[in-house]
Amino acid sequence: MPRIIDNPDTGSASLEEIVEALGNGFDPRDEESTRAAAAHLGRLGRNDHFLGDLLIEQMKDLSRTDGDAGGYGPQAIVLSPVLGTAFLRANIWPSEDEPCFAASGARTFVYGIPHDHNFDFLTVGYFGPGYRSDYFEYDYESVAGIKGERADLRFVERSALSTGRLMHYRAHRDIHSQLPPEATSVSLNIMHIGAGQGWLDQYGFDLDSNVVTGTLNPTSTEVFLRCAIGMGGDDALALAEDFGRHHPSDRLRLATFEAREGLLPDAKDRDALWRMAELSGSRLLAGEATARRERLAA
């Protein structure tokens, strides 16, 4: 499960002070950097009025568009610009009693969707009893990301992100299945970002069967590529063939095969295409291709 970080300091700080103190963010590979960032987040978490004041200020001035506190959505509030390798965020977690929960459903708030993360982040319970999670760990390197692949999840515990609790979610290791809090709650995060992060897979899981359900972070490149192949001509197909053979992202390679399959009306041609993927040298492509060839044969 995520690392629990001691939060003994009793001091607090303003959002502006924390933004300045974070400087260039934090490096999750460096224990000193991680603990320093966690201490900053803990101080912000003890400022029990800054977020309410910020929301009131924003509602008074709906025309404000600067980068200091923009990026508002129904659940996530971006609190800072990118600070080198990180940014600050607040998340609102409604309880089952809230009208927005009844209107939108649990999945809108990622409740009941077991998942890992392709980035590290620090979090602290800021307001309310906190969302609850069933926590698991797994070996990311042993998983290729094939739908239905066994993941060997190891259950750790169920607990809540209570006010003041400070945790470090570790990329590609910690998995949680979130449950609604008993009352509306808020968490604060320091999100780590890095070059190429979008190409690192984030998976969903099925807890009953202990398997991977799929990748949760498709990129815009995949969408553009599928559109180009579907609407394009020979150049688009040539690019798809090249990416399918040589692109460093197995996920994008798989997308080229899926897009090209849609252009083939004959089952024999589709089987030949997936046979090529099966022999590509990629565990992900081979596993997905075998499953698709079995469906074609059936």
Q: Using one digit for the tens of pLDDT, what is the confidence trace for 224-275? A: 999 999 888 889 999 999 999 999 999 999 999 999 999 999 999 999 999 9
Q: Are the C-beta atoms of residues 253 and 240 closer than 8 Å to each other?
A: no
State the pLDDT confidence band at 281, using cuts at 50, 70 and 90.
very high
pLDDT at 67 over 50: no
The dihedrals phi and psi of 106, each to the nearest 5 degrees, come to -65, -35
Pinpoint the residues of the chain covered by CATH 2.60.120.10: 3-215
- Give the angle 49-53-56 at the CA atoms, nearest 5°: 145
Length of the chain: 298
Helix axes 31-45, 15-22, angle to 10 degrees: 170
Output the CA–CA distances (angstroms, integers) from residue 96 to 181, 214, 250, in the order listed: 8, 27, 39
What residues does 204 pair with on adjacent strands?
Answer: 115, 214
Q: Are the C-beta atoms of residues 201 and 118 closer than 8 Å to each other?
A: yes
Q: What is the pLDDT of residue 63?
A: 56
**Across 74-93, average pLDDT:** 93
pTM as predicted? 0.88
State the pLDDT confidence band at 164, using cuts at 50, 70 and 90.
very high
State the pLDDT confidence band at 68, using cuts at 50, 70 and 90.
very low
Q: What is the pLDDT of residue 65?
A: 52
In terms of Cβ atoms closer than 10 Å to its own Cβ (0-12, 13-18, 19+), residue 216 is middle
**Across 100-118, average pLDDT:** 94
Q: Is 212 helix (H, G, I), strand (E, B) or coil?
A: strand
Q: What is the pLDDT of residue 74?
A: 67
List, in sequence order, the alpha helices (H) in the chain. 15-22, 31-45, 50-60, 99-104, 220-231, 234-246, 250-261, 267-278, 283-297
276 closest CA partner among 229, 213, 219, 264 = 264
Name the CATH superfamily for 3-215.
Jelly Rolls (2.60.120.10)
